[in-house]
C-alpha cells in the first residue's frame, strides 16, 4: 500500500497521498456498503431456512393473490379488477382500494426476470422482495446520513438499519406486506428532500416528487411524510433559517406531490380534501408569504420597508382572519373535522376504543410496552439522545430535520406498536451520528498521541486530509472563516474545497495546539474504543437472535419442541387444502375476518368478510351470527348464502390465538351495530368464562358450540389447554350444522350448514321458544 | 436545548424586523400613524390615515409605491420576463377558479389538474428566477443553462402528470 512517491517537493507528495487516501476511502466505502446490503438480505432469511419459502401471516396472502392476478392478466385488468370472491355479496373494487406499489414492484421484477429467461415463480419473487428492498433501504440510509453528517456516520447508520429488529419484523423473507417497500421509499424520499435542501437544485426536487409518488403508491403511511416536511419547513422559518433553497425544496414538492398523490386511485381526491393534507397547503401559503416578504425587504430601503410592514400588516391581518374563519367553518362542519378514523386514532389514542372497535381490536394498534422498545431497537434506545445532541453541534437544516423526525416518530411509536417501524430508521440515523462522532473523537485522540506522528506539518496535512476524507463539519473552521448567519453556504460549496489550502504556519500551529488540548488520554480512548466495539457486538448478537427466534415465524406453520422431537402444526394449510379439494368453486365460506385473505388465496373460495375490514356492518353481521344461538346463526348465515363455517380452535394443543379468545371482540363489534347482543350477557361477574360457571348465553352461542363440539371425546374430561379449565357444556348435539372436517390437531374445524327441512311440522310447535335459557343439552328436532 | 431555540429565534426575529438606522422622523412616523378603515359612499373600503405629529401616510404610501417601482425598474429584463410569466400563470389560475365557481366543479379532476398546472408552472418559474438571479449569492456558481434545464425537466414531469390526470 505504498503511495507512488514523486521525486519533487513535499507538497505534491502530500497531495497525491490525499487523493490516494480519498480513493482508498471511496473503494472501502463501496465494499462496506456492498457487505451491508448482503447482511441486510441474509439476516432476513432465517424463516426460509427454518421453515420453508412460504408467505407469512394474513395480509401478505392478499398481496400475493393480487400479484398473481396481475402477472396472469396484465395491468389493465388489474386497474379495473372487481373482486367478487370476497365480501360476499358486496364484492370489493380492488383497483381502487389497494395501494398498488408493492404488487406493481413485485410484478415488474417477475416480468423482468422472466423476460431475461430466469423462470422464478411469482411466489419466490414475492417472498424475496422484502429482503432485497431492505438492502436498498440501508443504502438509502447511508445516503441520507451522509447528507446530514458525513460518510462515516452514513456507514454506521446503514449498518445499524440493516439489522435493527423492528424493521426485520416486518420485512423477513415471506412477509410480503406494504412496509417492505414503503420503508425504502420513505427513507429515499427523505434523502432526496435533504439533498434538495442542501444543494438547492430543482433536479433533485423533481426526483423528490417522484420518490414521494412511489411512497404514496406503497403505503398509507405517506401522510407522515406530507405532514413532517411542512412541519420542518415551518420550523426552519420560525428559527430563522429561511433560505431560497428551502423554497425550492418545498414548493415544487407540494404541487407535484399533490398531483401525483391524486393520481393513485386509493387516494384520489382525498389528496386535497382531507385534513391530513391541509398542513402542507397551509405551510405552502406561509412560505410564499415569507418568501415575498424577504424579497421585498431585499429591494426596498429599510425605512420604506417599515412603512410597508405597517401598511400591509393591518390589511393582511383582516384578510387572514376572514379566510381562517371560513376554513374553520368548513372543517368543523364534518364530524371528524376532516380526519380519517385511523389518523384520528393516532392523534387521540383513546378515540378508537370509544368509537371504532375494529381498529381498537387489532393487536398491532395497541400501545407498546417498555420492553418492546428494548426488544425492537435495543442499544439504539440510549444512543438516540446522544445523536440528538450531536445534531445540534452544529445545527444545520438537515440535522434539524433529523431531530424533528426522531421526535415525531417517538411520539407515534408510543401510540401504536405498529409504528415502531417508522421509528427504526430515525433511531438508526441518530445513533449512527452519535457512534460516528464518538469513534471520531477517540480515534483522533489516539492518533494525536501516538509517538512519531507529532510533527506539525504532518499533523496539519493529516488533520486536513482526514477532515476532508470524513467530511466533518468542523473542517469548515480550517477552510473558511465563520460567515455571517445570513449567508449559509450550501454543502456543495463546502465539499468542492477539497484541496488543502496553503495556510500560514502560525495559524496551523495554533490550530494544532487547540486540537492537542482537546485530545483525551490515550488509554482512556483505547478502552473506550474497545467498549464501543463491544457495544456493537452486543447489538449484533441481539439482532441475530431476534431475527432467528422471534420474528421468523410464518404463523401459518407452527412448531413446538417436545421430548420426542420437533412437532410441526400445519393445520391451517391442511384445512384450506381440504376446502380447495372437497367443496364447489362457488361455495361461500364464513369465518372471522382474520382468515379471509388466507381462505381466498389458498382455498380459492368466496368469503364473507376479510382483513380489509372496510365494512363494519358486514363484520358485525358475522360477529352477531357467531354470538347467537344456533337457529338465529343459521338464519343469518343462510341469508348470506353461506355453505361452510370455519372456526379456529386451540384448546387441544394450546394455541392461544384462537377464536374463543377473540370471541369478546366479536361480541363487541356485533353489539356495536346490533343492540340485542350485549357484552355483559357473556360475562359472569365481569369475567369471561367458558367452564361450568359460564353464562347460558355464552354456552349456547354458536362459537362455543362449534369450537367444543365433540371435544370431550379427546380426553374424556374436555380440558381446554388454553383457558386451563374443563369446558362447561360437554355433551351436546348440533341441530343446524354438521361437522365436515377437523384438522389433525383440532386447530381448524369446518362445519356445513344443514339444508332447510322440506316439511314444516304443525304450527303449534312454533310457540315453543328456542334456547335462550338453560335448556337441556339434548338437541330436539325443531322446525328450521 | 430550549434556551438554544430561544436564543436563535430571538436573534433572528430581531434581524427580520430591525432597521439599520432610526431617525427621529421614522420614530415619529411609527408612533403617529395608524390606519383606519372606513366605508365611502360607493361602498368600497377606503384606507385613511389619521394624522400624527408629522407627515401623512398617504405621502408614505405614495413614497412606498414610488420606491417599489424604482427598485423594480432596475431589475434585469430576463427576470422581468419571468415575473410576467408568473403573473400570467397566476391570472390563469384565478380565471379557472372563477369559472369553477360559476359553472360548478363536476369533473373535479380536470379542475384540479388545470389549477394545479397553473400554480405549478408559477412555482417552477419562481424557482428558476431564484436560481438565475445574479444577486443571489447562494447560486453564483450555478450556470443559468443548468437552471433552465432543470426547469424544463420539472415542467415536463409536471405536464406529463397533468395530462394523465386531466381525464
| Topology of the domain covering A567-753 | Rossmann fold (3.40.50)
Q: Give the residue-averaged pLDDT of A147-153.
A: 92
Candidates A262, A315, A392; nearest CB to B165: A262
Name chain B contacts of A309, Cβ cutoff 8 Å: 17
Q: Give the residue-averaged pLDDT of A474-499.
A: 37
- pLDDT-wise least confident of A586-590, A625-629, B103-107: B103-107
The complex's ipTM? 0.77
Angle between helices B144-165 and A202-218 (to 10 degrees): 30
User: Is the pLDDT at A60 greater than 50, yes or no?
Assistant: yes
Note whether A259 contacts B128, CB cutoff 8 Å: no
Note whether A311 contacts B161, CB cutoff 8 Å: no
Name chain A contacts of B35, Cβ cutoff 8 Å: 310-311, 314
Q: How do residues A435-475 score in pLDDT, each as one tens digit? A: 999 998 898 888 877 765 544 444 444 444 444 344 333 33
Candidates A256, A304, A392; nearest CB to B161: A256
Q: Across the A/B interface, how many CB contacts are shorter than 8 Å? A: 146
Taking phi over 0 as left and psi of -120 to 50 as alpha, with beta for the rest, A423 belongs to: alpha
- pLDDT-wise least confident of A266-270, A355-359, A453-457, B160-164: A453-457
Phi and psi of A748, rounded to 5°? -125, 130
pLDDT at position A468 is 39
Note whether B137 contacts A203, CB cutoff 8 Å: no
Percent of chain A with pLDDT over 70: 83
In A263-322, the residues whose Cβ lies within 8 Å of chain B are: 263, 269, 272, 291, 296, 298-311, 314-315, 318
Candidates B4, B19, B119; nearest CB to A303: B19
Within a 13 Å sphere around the CA of A619, how many CA atoms are in the beta-carbon half? 24
In A, minimum Cα distance to B23 occurs at A303
Candidates B15, B71, B108; nearest CB to A300: B71
Name chain A contacts of B157, Cβ cutoff 8 Å: 206, 209-210, 256
**Residue to test with chain B: of A235, A237, A250, A256, most B Cβ within 10 A:** A256
Which of the listed ranges A239-243, A271-275, B5-9 does the model predict with the highest average pLDDT? A239-243
State the nearest Cα–Cα gap between B127 and chain A, in angstroms: 6
Name chain B contacts of A314, Cβ cutoff 8 Å: 35
Candidates A259, A298, A308; nearest CB to B113: A259
Note whether B154 contacts A263, CB cutoff 8 Å: no
User: Is the pLDDT at A35 greater than 80, yes or no?
Assistant: yes
State the nearest Cα–Cα gap between A753 and chain B, in angstroms: 48
* Gap between the Cα atoms of B134 and A298, Å rounded: 13
Note whether B130 contacts A252, CB cutoff 8 Å: no
Q: How do residues A175-188 score in pLDDT, each as one tens digit? A: 999 998 999 999 99
Note whether A206 contacts B137, CB cutoff 8 Å: no
Name chain A contacts of B120, Cβ cutoff 8 Å: 252, 255-256, 259
Taking residue A331's Cβ as centre, other Cβ atoms within 10 Å add up to 14
- Beta-bridge mates of residue A566: A561
User: Is the pLDDT at B8 greater than 70, yes or no?
Assistant: no
- pLDDT-wise least confident of A347-351, A562-566, A741-745: A347-351
Q: How do residues A223-262 score in pLDDT, each as one tens digit? A: 999 999 999 999 999 998 888 899 999 999 999 999 999 9
Name chain A contacts of B60, Cβ cutoff 8 Å: 307, 311
pLDDT at position A296 is 82
Exposure pattern of A188-199 as b/e (b: 16+ CB <10 Å)? bbbbbbbbbbbb
Name chain A contacts of B17, Cβ cutoff 8 Å: 309
Give the pairing type, strands A606-607 and A683-684: unpaired
Note whether B157 contacts A210, CB cutoff 8 Å: yes
Name chain B contacts of A212, Cβ cutoff 8 Å: none
Note whether A259 contacts B154, CB cutoff 8 Å: no
Q: How do residues A504-557 score in pLDDT, each as one tens digit? A: 566 667 766 666 666 778 888 889 999 999 999 999 999 999 999 888 888 888
In A463-502, the residues whose Cβ lies within 8 Å of chain B are: 485-487, 489-490, 493
Give the pairing type, strands B34-39 and B45-50: antiparallel
Q: How confident is the model at residue A91 (pLDDT cuts 50, 70, 90)?
A: confident
Contact A384, A406 (CB under 8 A): yes
Mean pLDDT, chain A, whole residue set:
83
pLDDT at position A471 is 38
Note whether B150 contacts A490, CB cutoff 8 Å: no
Candidates B64, B135, B150; nearest CB to A203: B150
Candidates A239, A318, A395; nearest CB to B12: A239
Taking residue A521's Cβ as centre, other Cβ atoms within 10 Å add up to 11
Which of the listed ranges A33-42, A312-321, A342-351, A352-361 does the model predict with the highest average pLDDT? A33-42
Contact A215, A228 (CB under 8 A): no
Note whether B9 contacts A240, CB cutoff 8 Å: yes
Note whether A248 contacts B15, CB cutoff 8 Å: no
On whether any CB of chain B is under 8 Å from the CB of A205, the answer is: yes
Name chain B contacts of A258, Cβ cutoff 8 Å: 116
> DSSP label at A764?
G
Which residue is it, cell 506522528?
A: A453
State the nearest Cα–Cα gap between B23 and chain A, in angstroms: 9
pLDDT at position B57 is 63
* Gap between the Cα atoms of B167 and B163, Å rounded: 8
- pLDDT-wise least confident of A117-131, A196-210, A445-459, B40-54: B40-54
Taking phi over 0 as left and psi of -120 to 50 as alpha, with beta for the rest, A454 belongs to: alpha
Q: Give the residue-averaged pLDDT of B8-25.
A: 48
Note whether A240 contacts B11, CB cutoff 8 Å: yes
Candidates A252, A395, A489; nearest CB to B124: A252
* Gap between the Cα atoms of A195 and A765, Å rounded: 80
* A642 three-state secondary structure: strand
User: Is the pLDDT at A488 greater than 80, yes or no?
Assistant: no
Q: Give the residue-averaged pLDDT of A761-766.
A: 60
User: Is the pLDDT at B25 greater than 50, yes or no?
Assistant: no
* Gap between the Cα atoms of B154 and B121, Å rounded: 9
Note whether A302 contacts B17, CB cutoff 8 Å: no
**Residue to test with chain B: of A255, A268, A404, most B Cβ within 10 A:** A255
> DSSP label at A310?
H
Candidates A245, A300, A310; nearest CB to B33: A310
Q: How do residues A610-625 score in pLDDT, each as one tens digit? A: 888 888 899 999 999 9
Q: Give the residue-averaged pLDDT of A330-355.
A: 67
The burial of A776, by beta-carbon neighbours within 10 Å (0-12 exposed, 13-18 middle, 19 or more buried), is given as: exposed
Name chain A contacts of B32, Cβ cutoff 8 Å: none
* Gap between the Cα atoms of A698 and A689, Å rounded: 8
In A, minimum Cα distance to B156 occurs at A206
Handedness of CA B131, B133, B134, B138 (dihedral sign): negative
In A, minimum Cα distance to B22 occurs at A303
* Gap between the Cα atoms of A147 and A495, Å rounded: 11
Name chain B contacts of A206, Cβ cutoff 8 Å: 150, 153-154, 157
Report which secondary-structure segment, H or E, holds A741.
strand A737-742
In B, minimum Cα distance to A271 occurs at B112
Candidates B68, B75, B139; nearest CB to A300: B68
Q: How confident is the model at residue A358 (pLDDT cuts 50, 70, 90)?
A: low
Which residue is it, cell 365436515?
A: A740
Question: In 3D, which of A564, A157, A199 has the Cα closest to residue A377?
Answer: A157
- Comparing A716 with A192, the larger pLDDT belongs to A192
Note whether A485 contacts B131, CB cutoff 8 Å: no
Candidates B60, B63, B120; nearest CB to A256: B120
Q: How confident is the model at residue A273 (pLDDT cuts 50, 70, 90)?
A: confident
pLDDT at position A643 is 92
User: Is the pLDDT at B54 greater than 60, yes or no?
Assistant: no
Note whether A206 contacts B9, CB cutoff 8 Å: no
Note whether B17 contacts A309, CB cutoff 8 Å: yes
Contact A532, A435 (CB under 8 A): yes
pTM greater than 0.90 (yes/no): no
State the nearest Cα–Cα gap between A79 and chain B, in angstroms: 15
- Comparing B54 with B89, the larger pLDDT belongs to B89
In A, minimum Cα distance to B29 occurs at A307
* A321 three-state secondary structure: helix
Amino acid at each position: 500500500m505504498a503511495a507512488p512517491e514523486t521525486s519533487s517537493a513535499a507538497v505534491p507528495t502530500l497531495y497525491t497521498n490525499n487523493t490516494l487516501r480519498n480513493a482508498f476511502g471511496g473503494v472501502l466505502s463501496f465494499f462496506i456498503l456492498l457487505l451491508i446490503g448482503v447482511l441486510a438480505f441474509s439476516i432476513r432469511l432465517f424463516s426460509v431456512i427454518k421453515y420453508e419459502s412460504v408467505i407469512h401471516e394474513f395480509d401478505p396472502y392478499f398481496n400475493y393473490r393480487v400479484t398473481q392476478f396481475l402477472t396472469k392478466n396484465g395491468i389493465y385488468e388489474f386497474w379495473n379488477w372487481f373482486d367478487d370472491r370476497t365480501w360476499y355479496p358486496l364484492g370489493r373494487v380492488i383497483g381502487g382500494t389497494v395501494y398498488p406499489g408493492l404488487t406493481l414492484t413485485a410484478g415488474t421484477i417477475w416480468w423482468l426476470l422472466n423476460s431475461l429467461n430466469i423462470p422464478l415463480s411469482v411466489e419466490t419473487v414475492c417472498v424475496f422482495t422484502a429482503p432485497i428492498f431492505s438492502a436498498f433501504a440501508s443504502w438509502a440510509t447511508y445516503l441520507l446520513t451522509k447528507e446530514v453528517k458525513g460518510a462515516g456516520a452514513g456507514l454506521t447508520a446503514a449498518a445499524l438499519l440493516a439489522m435493527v429488529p423492528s424493521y426485520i419484523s416486518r420485512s423477513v423473507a415471506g412477509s410480503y406486506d406494504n412496509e417492505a417497500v414503503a420503508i425504502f421509499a420513505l427513507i429515499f424520499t427523505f434523502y432526496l428532500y435533504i439533498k434538495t435542501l442542501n444543494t438547492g437544485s430543482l433536479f433533485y426536487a423533481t426526483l423528490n416528487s417522484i420518490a414521494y409518488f412511489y411512497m404514496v403508491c406503497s403505503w398509507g403511511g405517506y401522510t407522515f411524510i406530507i405532514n413532517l416536511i411542512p412541519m420542518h419547513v415551518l420550523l426552519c422559518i420560525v428559527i430563522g433559517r429561511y433560505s431560497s433553497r428551502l423554497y425550492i425544496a418545498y414548493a415544487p414538492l407540494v404541487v407535484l406531490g399533490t398531483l401525483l398523490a391524486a393520481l393513485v386511485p386509493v387516494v384520489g381526491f382525498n389528496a386535497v380534501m382531507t385534513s391530513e393534507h391541509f398542513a402542507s397547503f397551509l405551510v405552502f401559503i406561509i412560505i410564499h408569504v415569507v418568501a415575498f416578504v424577504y424579497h421585498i425587504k431585499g429591494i426596498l430601503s429599510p425605512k420604506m420597508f417599515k412603512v410597508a410592514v405597517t401598511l400591509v400588516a393591518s390589511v393582511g391581518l383582516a384578510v387572514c382572519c376572514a379566510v381562517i374563519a371560513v376554513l374553520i367553518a368548513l372543517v368543523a362542519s364534518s364530524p371528524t373535522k376532516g380526519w380519517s378514523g385511523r389518523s384520528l386514532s393516532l392523534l387521540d389514542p383513546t378515540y378508537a376504543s370509544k368509537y371504532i372497535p375494529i381498529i381498537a381490536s387489532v393487536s398491532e394498534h395497541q400501545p407498546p410496552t417498555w420492553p418492546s422498545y428494548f426488544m425492537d431497537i435495543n442499544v439504539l434506545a440510549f444512543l438516540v439522545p446522544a445523536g440528538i445532541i450531536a445534531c445540534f453541534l452544529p445545527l444545520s437544516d438537515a440535522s434539524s430535520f433529523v431531530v424533528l423526525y426522531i421526535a415525531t416518530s417517538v411520539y407515534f411509536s408510543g401510540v401504536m406498536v405498529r409504528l415502531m417501524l417508522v421509528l427504526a430508521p430515525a433511531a438508526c440515523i441518530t445513533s449512527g451520528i452519535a457512534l460516528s462522532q464518538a469513534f471520531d473523537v477517540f480515534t483522533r485522540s489516539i492518533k494525536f498521541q501516538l509517538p512519531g506522528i507529532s510533527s506539525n506539518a504532518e499533523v496539519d496535512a493529516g488533520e486536513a486530509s482526514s477532515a476532508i476524507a470524513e467530511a466533518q463539519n468542523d473542517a469548515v473552521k480550517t477552510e473558511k472563516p465563520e460567515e455571517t448567519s445570513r449567508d449559509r453556504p450550501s454543502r456543495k460549496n463546502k465539499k468542492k474545497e477539497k484541496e488543502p489550502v496553503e495556510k500560514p504556519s502560525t495559524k496551523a500551529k495554533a490550530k494544532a495546539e487547540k486540537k492537542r488540548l482537546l485530545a483525551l488520554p490515550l488509554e482512556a480512548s483505547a478502552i473506550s474504543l474497545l467498549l464501543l466495539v463491544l457495544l456493537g457486538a452486543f447489538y449484533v448478537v441481539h439482532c441475530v437472535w431476534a431475527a432467528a427466534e422471534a420474528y421468523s415465524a410464518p404463523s401459518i406453520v407452527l412448531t413446538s419442541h417436545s421430548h420426542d422431537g420437533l412437532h410441526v402444526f400445519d393445520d391451517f394449510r391442511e384445512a384450506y387444502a381440504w376446502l380447495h379439494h372437497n367443496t364447489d368453486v362457488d361455495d361461500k365460506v364464513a369465518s372471522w375476518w382474520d382468515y379471509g385473505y388466507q381462505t381466498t388465496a389458498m382455498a380459492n373460495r368466496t368469503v364473507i368478510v376479510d382483513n380489509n375490514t372496510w365494512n363494519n356492518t358486514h363484520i358485525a353481521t358475522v360477529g352477531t351470527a357467531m354470538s347467537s344461538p344456533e337457529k338465529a346463526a343459521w338464519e343469518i348465515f343462510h341469508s348470506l348464502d353461506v355453505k361452510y363455517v370455519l372456526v379456529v380452535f386451540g384448546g387441544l394443543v394450546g394455541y392461544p390465538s384462537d377464536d374463543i379468545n377473540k370471541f369478546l371482540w366479536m361480541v363487541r363489534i356485533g353489539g356495536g351495530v346490533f343492540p340485542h347482543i350485549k357484552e355483559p350477557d357473556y360475562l359472569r361477574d365481569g369475567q369471561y368464562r367458558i367452564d361450568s360457571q359460564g353464562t347460558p348465553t355464552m354456552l349456547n352461542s354458536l362459537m362455543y358450540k362449534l369450537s367444543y363440539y365433540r371435544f370431550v371425546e379427546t380426553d374424556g374430561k374436555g380440558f381446554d389447554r388454553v383457558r386451563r379449565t374443563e369446558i362447561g357444556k360437554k355433551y351436546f348435539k348440533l341441530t343446524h350444522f354438521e361437522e365436515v372436517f377437523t384438522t389433525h390437531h383440532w386447530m381448524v374445524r369446518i362445519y356445513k350448514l344443514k339444508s332447510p327441512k322440506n316439511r314444516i311440522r304443525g304450527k303449534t310447535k312454533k310457540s315453543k321458544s328456542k334456547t335462550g335459557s338453560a335448556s337441556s343439552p339434548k338437541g330436539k328436532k325443531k322446525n328450521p | 436545548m430550549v434556551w438554544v431555540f430561544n436564543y436563535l429565534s430571538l436573534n433572528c426575529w430581531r434581524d427580520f424586523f430591525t432597521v439599520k438606522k432610526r431617525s427621529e422622523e421614522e420614530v415619529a412616523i411609527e408612533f403617529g400613524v395608524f390606519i383606519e378603515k372606513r366605508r365611502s359612499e360607493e361602498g368600497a373600503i377606503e384606507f385613511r390615515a389619521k394624522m400624527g405629529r408629522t407627515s401623512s401616510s398617504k405621502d408614505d404610501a405614495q413614497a412606498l409605491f414610488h420606491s417599489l417601482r424604482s427598485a423594480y425598474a432596475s431589475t434585469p429584463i430576463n427576470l422581468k420576463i419571468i415575473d410576467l410569466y408568473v403573473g400570467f400563470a397566476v391570472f390563469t389560475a384565478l380565471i379557472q377558479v372563477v369559472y369553477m365557481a360559476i359553472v360548478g366543479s363536476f369533473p373535479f379532476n380536470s379542475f384540479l389538474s388545470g389549477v394545479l398546472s397553473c400554480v405549478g408552472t408559477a412555482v417552477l418559474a419562481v424557482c428558476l428566477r431564484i436560481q438565475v438571479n445574479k444577486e443571489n449569492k447562494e447560486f453564483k456558481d450555478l450556470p443559468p443553462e443548468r437552471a433552465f434545464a432543470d426547469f424544463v425537466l420539472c415542467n415536463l414531469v409536471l405536464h406529463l402528470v397533468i395530462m394523465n390526470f386531466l381525464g
